[in-house]
Amino acid sequence: MTFTQKITGEIYAFSQLVRRHCKVFLKDGMAVFFSLLAPLIVFMLYILFLGEIQADTVAGFFPEGMPVPEDDVRAFVDSWMVAGVLGVACITVSFSANSVMVQDKCRGQIRDCLVSPVRKQTVTLAYFAFNFIVTVVIVTVVCLIAFVYLAATGRFMLSAGEAFAVIGTILFSSLSSTLFSVLVCALFRTEGALSGFVGIVSAAIGFLIGAYMPMSAFPDGVEYVAALLPGTHSAGLFRNFLMSGALENLTAGLPQAAHDGIAEAFSMEIDLFGANVGTDIMAVYIAGSIVLFAVLNLVLGTRLLNLPSYGGASKLFRRGKRGKDEGAKRK
């Protein structure tokens, strides 16, 4: 077999594995439904309950006696809500999508793939690609629904460039989350253990990345730890792209100190090692996490899935073929 044929075979195997994983995931309609529903429920809770609380916080920055533009305040708060929901969704959806990998691991179907001469790296990469596709698609759907809500209420204040920047952040953040979640979830041996862990992650991550409440409300120690998480920087990027236009409208008649105070209170900048960092450093931080998690996946990924070596898989394949040939000779 020539080198070109080998590469073509691996690409074909990769595409078929990704297609198979997507079919398995979509076959469980309830899993797909709840993966999409969970972030939308959080968004509805924001609208019904948390929105007014945050609106009161913003109103407190206006000088006494100065009228508070309620529509601008609500547009700012709603944009903050959407940023939090997207930041959380990039993480929780990627963890939930790993149910296919853990299910295959529990049932021995991963090893079944290696009875054929498919490289173990191809098997691992297919799980990653499937997870990334599912995460991007579901989070993008949530984002479009949020955009429709903002437009319908007259609170959509994004320029075309900012809207595309949000989509780019979804891709960027989903890549980081997928690399990390595949690495972590490969440790699990049962679907029940994964479900319990995903539940804990879903409950905790919204607080840790400042999605449910501004990071400025955290104790110093918690804020320091939260600033180390890539998800915090993803949420920071979402906040800057989604809230910048609303912030400018809101603070048009206010002193610069009020503008800076609102931006700080709602974590548009992140305190990292004592320095306030903006979007450039946030993006670099996420890029660094992608490189780190990619290297860890290359080094540990196939080991965590307990995959035999390529040579071992080939031996299994040859052994099975030899058994069939011997059986044919006896006949």
Q: What are phi and psi of 270, to 5 degrees?
A: -115, 135
Residue 320: what residue type?
G
Select the highest-mean-pLDDT range: 7-11, 89-93, 214-218: 89-93
3-state secondary structure 40-73: HHHHHHHHHHHHHHHHHHHHCCCCCCCCCCHHHH
Query: Across-strand partners of 272?
Result: 275
Q: Measure CA 139 to chain center.
A: 8
| pLDDT over 70 at 167, yes or no | yes
The sign of the torsion formed by the CA atoms of 134, 137, 141, 144 equals positive
User: Which tens digits make up the pLDDT trace of 16-54?
Assistant: 899 999 998 888 777 777 777 777 787 787 777 777 778
User: For residue 297, is it within any domain?
Assistant: yes
CA–CA separation, 109 vs 21, rounded Å? 12
pLDDT band (50, 70, 90) for residue 4: confident
Please tell me the predicted confidence (pLDDT) of residue 252: 83
User: For residue 324, is it within any domain?
Assistant: no
- 275, burial (CB in 10 Å: exposed 0-12, middle 13-18, buried 19+): exposed
Q: What is the mean pLDDT of the chain?
A: 82
E-strand ranges in 177-301 read 270-272, 275-277
pLDDT band (50, 70, 90) for residue 293: very high
CA–CA separation, 206 vs 313, rounded Å? 42
User: Which tens digits make up the pLDDT trace of 109-164?
Assistant: 777 766 667 788 888 889 999 999 999 999 999 999 999 988 998 888 888 899 99
| pLDDT over 50 at 291, yes or no | yes
Q: How many CB atoms lie within 10 A of CB 315?
A: 12
pLDDT band (50, 70, 90) for residue 317: very low
User: For residue 325, is it within any domain?
Assistant: no
Distances in Å between the Cα of 221 and the Cα atoms of 68, 185, 218, 270, 271 are: 34, 27, 8, 14, 12
Token pair belonging to 126? 């297919």
Domain tally for the chain?
1
Q: 3-class SS at 176?
A: helix
The single residue listed with the structure tokens 């075309």 is: 160
User: For residue 194, is it within any domain?
Assistant: yes
User: Which tens digits make up the pLDDT trace of 257-271?
Assistant: 888 888 888 878 888
**What's the whole-number mean pLDDT along residues 47-64?**
79
pLDDT band (50, 70, 90) for residue 330: low
**Cβ pair 206, 88 in contact under 8 A:** yes
Check residues 193 and 274 and name the one with the higher pLDDT: 193
Choose the weakest-confidence range: 73-87, 105-119, 164-178, 195-209: 105-119
The parent domain of residue 218 ranges over 3-61+68-316
Please tell me the predicted confidence (pLDDT) of residue 260: 84
User: For residue 33, is it within any domain?
Assistant: yes
pLDDT above 70 covers a percentage of the chain that reads: 89
User: For residue 326, is it within any domain?
Assistant: no
Check residues 47 and 102 and name the one with the higher pLDDT: 102
User: For residue 229, is it within any domain?
Assistant: yes
In 28-157, which ranges are continuous DSSP H helix? Answer: 29-45, 51-59, 70-97, 99-106, 109-113, 120-152
Residue positions counted in the chain: 331
User: For residue 216, is it within any domain?
Assistant: yes
Check residues 29 and 194 and name the one with the higher pLDDT: 194
pLDDT above 90 covers a percentage of the chain that reads: 25
Q: 3-class SS at 257?
A: helix
Please tell me the predicted confidence (pLDDT) of residue 318: 44
| Closest by Cα among 150, 167, 169 to 47 | 150
| pLDDT over 70 at 329, yes or no | no
Q: 3-class SS at 271?
A: strand
Please tell me the predicted confidence (pLDDT) of residue 116: 66
Please tell me the predicted confidence (pLDDT) of residue 178: 95
pLDDT band (50, 70, 90) for residue 319: very low
The single residue listed with the structure tokens 């960027």 is: 172
pLDDT band (50, 70, 90) for residue 301: low
